[in-house]
Structure 1
């Protein structure tokens, strides 16, 4: 299964926020720099994560974002279910319009069940447990942070 780019950016943003010290607020720009993604893409992801209650945002000069309590408990499967906007896992379109096999198609059902199995497998993976110190230390140093100090 392949996740969409928006879900990928959102999961990476959550991982960066999870690895940051709980008291620290990260700006959207610093998250964008940390995940190597343009600001406007990360900004949209952060807005959605806030709407889902996974991050808390403080506005103002010293503002930024941090994981919420719910964000510290959310699983990869839960996040993907919220961010996967496709109704069908298959594009049932042929060059001339809808796929001629769409009527009573069992492939679509099989693919939908496979997608749900994929999410179920990820329901045991808490996003906040994914980042490792060895992985995140150089990322934070690159954006001018010294975590744990």
Structure 2
């Protein structure tokens, strides 16, 4: 299965925001640079994510974007169900119009079931669990003059 580029950008934004500290408020321009995507795409994704209640925008000087509690708890499967366009997995038509097998064909239904199984397999994956958070505190290091085995 493939996800749309819009869904991909949206998931990357959510992961970056999950990893950010609570004090950080990156702007959409900074987020666009971070995820390596044009600003226009990121701003459209941010608008949709805000409408979904997964992020919030803080206006004014020092403002930016941050993830909401709902965004942290959201699952990849749940987000994709909303963001993906739900067009048929297979293009069931020919240049002349509808596929001549459409009335007796079960492929479209089987492919739609497969898409739902794909989403269902991601229902247990929270966005917060995917983000790599910066580790604070001391890092355990072992130095030795002996060569490694």
TM-score band, normalised by the shorter chain?
A: 0.7 to 0.9
Unaligned ranges ≥5, structure 2: 137-149
Matched, 1:93 2:70: no
TM-score by length of 2: 0.86
Deviations 1:118-140 (A, max 9, x none): 0010000001111224xxx6xxx
Unaligned ranges ≥5, structure 1: 138-146
How many angstroms apart in 2 are the aligned matches of 1:132 and 1:115?
Answer: 28
- 1:124-135 correspondence runs (5 A): 124-133=124-133
Report how many aligned residue pairs link the two structures.
137
How large is the Cα RMSD of the aligned pairs?
A: 1.7
The corresponding residue for 2:80 is 80
Deviations 1:85-142 (A, max 9, x none): 1232222221222222212320011001101110010000001111224xxx6xxxxx
Higher normalized helix content (fraction of residues): 1
How many angstroms apart in 2 are the aligned matches of 1:93 and 1:6?
Answer: 25
TM-score by length of 1: 0.86
Higher Rg: 2
Shift of 1:61: 2.1
The corresponding residue for 1:44 is 44
- 1:101-140 correspondence runs (5 A): 101-133=101-133
